[in-house]
Chain A
Amino acid sequence: MEIIMSILAGTLFGTGIYNLLQKQLLRIIIGTVLISNGAHLFILTMGELKRGQPPILREGVTDYVDPLPQALILTSIVISFGVTSLLLVLAYRASKENQTDNMDKMRGNEYE
């Protein structure tokens, strides 16, 4: 199962990167969301999947899944949420100010 999950994470990365390399702002944001999803899955796969109970301590249970990746991912989810929302507003502002959402047209004067 870990291998399938690795492939899934890889696919999310790949599609995310492809979107990231596009010119349109919205696509770039979609790309970052995909990449962070891929990263979460990636971290989860690094631990062991489905061995034991959820990491909530209970009487009589000795075998729990690895809580550390979960803690890391939890942090990461929240951070990527912050990043995504900031990016969205930024994209909105940028396209409003510049009258375009094409990255190539936002290069500034010195490259024209």
Chain B
Amino acid sequence: MIFTVFFPLIIAIVIPFLNRFKKRIHTGVFALVVPLGIFLYFIRFIGEDFQPVSQQVPWIPSLNIMLDFYLDGLSLLFVLLISGIGALVTLYSIYYLHKNEKLGHFYVYLLMFMSAMLGVVLSDNVFVLYSFWELTSISSFLLIGYWNHRERSRYGALKSLLVTVFGGLSMFAGLILLSIITETTSIQEMVLQKEMLLNNDYFPLIMTFLLLGAFTKSAQFPFHIWLPDAMEAPTPVSAYLHSATMVKAGIFLVARFSPILSGSEWFFIVVSIVGIITLCWGSYMAVRQTDLKAILAFSTISQLGMIMAMLGFGTEVAVFAAAFHILNHATFKGSLFMVAGIVDHETGSRDIRKLGGLFTFLPITATLALFGTFSMAGVPLPFLNGFYSKEMFFDSALNLTEGSLTLTTFLRNVIPYLAVFGSIFTFVYSMYLFFGTFTGKGDIGSLPKRPHEAPVGMLVPPAILVVGIILIGLFPNMVNQPFLAHAAEAISGMKLEEKIAFWHGITPPFRMSLTVVGIGTLLFVFRNKWKGIYHAIPGPLSLNRVYDWLLEKTESYSSRMTKGYMNGSISRYVALILTTILLVTFTFMGFTEGFVMDTSNLAEVSTLEISIAIVMIVAAFGTIFSNNNIAAIIILGVVGYGISTLFVIYRAPDLALTQLIVETVTVALFLLCFYHLPKLRKNVDSKRTKIINSAIAISFGTLMTMVAISSHSSKWFEPISEYFIETSEELAGGDNVVNVILVDMRGLDTLFEITVLGIAALGIYGLIRLRNKKEENE
């Protein structure tokens, strides 16, 4: 099982090498093996006696992060969708993408996504889950921006990344909270502690964070804005990521945590409201679109809203219907995306206003679309799977659990109406999609290409999905016990027995379906009469503008802020760095009571040293006030020679010698450079700068004094110097301990020191040579 998660990634590494043969063999053929293999591996788990399987490999044991994989009914449903649709999409893409495209990139991203998505649905460890979750966002970003020469692609990619990663991060916060409270990183173990979690003070926060992650990923209102722009991706990607799998990751998350979260009444309220609003808004907006893929995008949004709402309802029927609809939606929406891709591919246009009457040119495609759209609309026919789940949706909307809050009671009354409202528009856009494209009079002459039927390879994948629609429609119970029941059980935590049947009699849900079809047909036929309503709602106001405004403001504000302190002046940067050091050190030392002063162990004070110190202090200040080059250098020399005198007094003969030599050479160097360097000028800074600079300088000096005194006063460990003194003779045969330390015991340090000097010498040489060459040229 672990191998299957990483299998696509392994192949992804090989793909760039195989891409070399793309002239002869389409790279997609190699990629196709992966999902197909995974699908065949997992399909054997289907059966009535399915038991969850788990597998564990330590990854970061010290942080309790294991590669924990757990396959239950819910994961199985998703794994089969990911690999099944994945295989079909890969097959489709072989015919959709021309060999001249950057196939290597495409399949690497696609396989990367496959791994990530499998990881999300199979992980039992929350942090592993999170890692895979973000990887799906990243691969989705790469795939949306696949045609990166298009401005719209880049815009869409960035938008999806910003929205989903925002959600991902908040989900991460939720997961961290969860793992701290439950002291485990395993989801299954968290579920066992749900009673404790429900009463925890942080529960509302956890729920908010997790739901934010789910809502952004699954494009729920108001975060749905990224999905229509994600349609800039190649159509196979849209079919795969942005309809069948990735956008359902949010649904998966809610389903996975619903045993914990659904204990709270607020879960019902929030998830149902968001789901229902998304359903209505998505289907309402879909009717307005003119681009085939845009219609499908909004339709996906609304369908996701519907599934989300059912998870929110949390009743047995609802949870079962949610699992059922996840499967059904993948079949009909997948096939419809592929149909849209075929239309685009064969006519060169996706604009529904230009298209029309394509039935004669693309009869097979049109037939496939017929099944897809009618199933999506929920037309009551016994061979369309969409009808069953829609019927169950109505059924669950009518039988909501009672709650203690008034809001719950209100929702119980409103939700059935909203469900019907959303479904009416679903019906309208489904009809619009089919009849607008394939019937009526189209302006065939104005299309960029002369339409003709697609190659067989492009027709097979949607055909397989349509066969799925019909098979599930005819024999719904085929997938019931062996498959869906396990998924529903994993979501709700209890065993569910649901019978799927076409005919229940004239029940309220059936009447709702009839209402939908009736009103839907009327609205569709007279759609030109009421289209004006879109000028009023949403009108000029749109969430996209909010997004654009936010993005623009963030950019301009952060650029202004950065320019505020990054003004190019190095002295400003130095001042900022020093201030930071000061603040951090003072705070830290203050809090840990690091400043100490111990006067018991001090050397005696002698007049000689004090006089030297006073001379040095005067000289040090002199460098600031001197405006004469020579004077400044000589004063600096005074400080240097003062130090070497101090070294003599403090029994450091080697230091004194070195310092003397270095000081002499330095002064000589300074004097050499003087000739060329401009004269020192009076400090012309403003008074304010001077005060700030002196404040920084004084506090830094004080800080260093305090640190020096504290470090002298607090001896926490025995110095290791004794070791050097004792072993110097024995180990290195040297009397001068300082020399032994330098050349023997810390020999490598000295070697590197010499290297540094060498580099400095090279630099100096280079700088001087550079001048000579240039001057020679001139």
**Footprint of B on A, CB under 8 Å?**
1-27, 30, 33-34, 37-38, 40-42, 44-58, 64-68, 70-71, 73-75, 77-79, 81-86, 88-93, 95-96, 100-101, 103-104, 107-108, 110-111
Asked whether A78 and B753 contact (CB < 8 A) given A50-B650, A51-B603, A57-B735, the answer is yes
The 7 tightest CB contacts between A and B, nearest first, are: A14-B701, A10-B705, A111-B568, A107-B568, A18-B697, A6-B708, A82-B760
Which partner residue on chain A sits nearest B620 by CB separation? A15
Q: Which residues of A contact B640 (CB under 8 A)?
A: 33, 37
Among A18, A37, A101, max chain B CB count under 10 A is at A18
Which partner residue on chain B sits nearest A91 by CB separation? B677
Contacting residues of chain B (589-636) with chain A, CB-CB under 8 angstroms: 599, 601-606, 609-610, 613, 616-617, 620-621, 623-624, 629, 632, 636
Other A-B pairs beyond A13-B701, A107-B569, 5, CB < 8 Å: A5-B708, A21-B574, A22-B683, A82-B757, A111-B567
Q: Which residues of B contact A25 (CB under 8 A)?
A: 677
Q: Which residues of A contact B654 (CB under 8 A)?
A: 70, 74
Contacting residues of chain B (740-761) with chain A, CB-CB under 8 angstroms: 741-742, 746, 749-750, 753, 756-757, 760-761
Q: Which residues of B contact A111 (CB under 8 A)?
A: 567-568
**Footprint of A on B, CB under 8 Å?**
567-571, 574-575, 578, 599, 601-606, 609-610, 613, 616-617, 620-621, 623-624, 629, 632, 636, 639-640, 643, 646-647, 649-655, 658-659, 662, 665-666, 669-670, 673, 676-678, 680-681, 683, 685, 693-694, 696-698, 700-706, 708-709, 711-712, 719-721, 724-725, 728-729, 735-738, 741-742, 746, 749-750, 753, 756-757, 760-761, 763-764, 767-768, 770-771
Flag if B606 contacts A1 (CB, 8 Å).
yes
Q: Which residues of B contact A37 (CB under 8 A)?
A: 639-640, 643
Flag if B604 contacts A1 (CB, 8 Å).
yes
Q: Which residues of B contact A75 (CB under 8 A)?
A: 742, 749-750, 753
The CA-CA distance from A12 to B620 in the complex, in Å, is: 6
Asked whether A74 and B771 contact (CB < 8 A) given A57-B728, A79-B756, A89-B764, the answer is no
Q: Which residues of A contact B632 (CB under 8 A)?
A: 26, 30
Q: Which residues of B contact A21 (CB under 8 A)?
A: 571, 574-575, 693, 696-697
Shortest A53–chain B CB gap in Å is 7
Flag if B651 contacts A65 (CB, 8 Å).
yes
Flag if B741 contacts A4 (CB, 8 Å).
no
Q: Which residues of B contact A91 (CB under 8 A)?
A: 673, 677
The 8 Å CB contact of B666, one of A56, A84, A93, A104, is: A84
Flag if A67 contacts B724 (CB, 8 Å).
yes
Shortest B316–chain A CB gap in Å is 65
Is the contact region of chain B dominated by helix, strand, or loop, or is it mixed? helix
The CA-CA distance from A3 to B602 in the complex, in Å, is: 8
The CA-CA distance from A77 to B663 in the complex, in Å, is: 10
Flag if A86 contacts B760 (CB, 8 Å).
yes
Q: Which residues of B contact A16 (CB under 8 A)?
A: 620
Flag if B650 contacts A44 (CB, 8 Å).
yes
Among B609, B738, B770, B771, max chain A CB count under 10 A is at B738
Flag if A92 contacts B651 (CB, 8 Å).
no
Among B578, B646, B721, B724, max chain A CB count under 10 A is at B721
Flag if B677 contacts A101 (CB, 8 Å).
yes
- Supply 30 A–B pairs (Cβ within 8 Å), ascending by A: A3-B602, A4-B609, A5-B646, A13-B700, A14-B704, A17-B578, A18-B624, A18-B693, A18-B694, A30-B623, A30-B636, A33-B640, A34-B623, A45-B712, A50-B604, A50-B651, A55-B651, A56-B735, A56-B736, A57-B728, A67-B737, A67-B738, A68-B724, A70-B738, A73-B652, A79-B757, A83-B760, A88-B670, A89-B767, A93-B767
Q: Which residues of A contact B574 (CB under 8 A)?
A: 20-21
The CA-CA distance from A47 to B711 in the complex, in Å, is: 9
Flag if B683 contacts A17 (CB, 8 Å).
no
Shortest A107–chain B CB gap in Å is 4
Flag if A81 contacts B604 (CB, 8 Å).
no
Q: Which residues of B contact A8 (CB under 8 A)?
A: 613, 616-617
Flag if B697 contacts A55 (CB, 8 Å).
no
Asked whether A95 and B620 contact (CB < 8 A) given A7-B705, A14-B697, A14-B701, the answer is no
Shortest B6–chain A CB gap in Å is 46
Q: Which residues of A contact B683 (CB under 8 A)?
A: 22
Q: Which residues of A contact B749 (CB under 8 A)?
A: 75
The 8 Å CB contact of A54, one of B602, B613, B652, B712, is: B652
Q: Which residues of B contact A27 (CB under 8 A)?
A: 680
The 8 Å CB contact of B655, one of A12, A18, A30, A77, is: A77
Asked whether A74 and B673 contact (CB < 8 A) given A55-B725, A57-B737, the answer is no
The 8 Å CB contact of B729, one of A57, A70, A96, is: A57
Shortest A39–chain B CB gap in Å is 9
Flag if A71 contacts B701 (CB, 8 Å).
no
Q: Which residues of A contact B704 (CB under 8 A)?
A: 6, 9-10, 13-14, 38, 42
Flag if A50 contacts B603 (CB, 8 Å).
yes
Shortest B631–chain A CB gap in Å is 12
The 8 Å CB contact of A42, one of B568, B650, B708, B763, is: B708
The CA-CA distance from A14 to B669 in the complex, in Å, is: 24
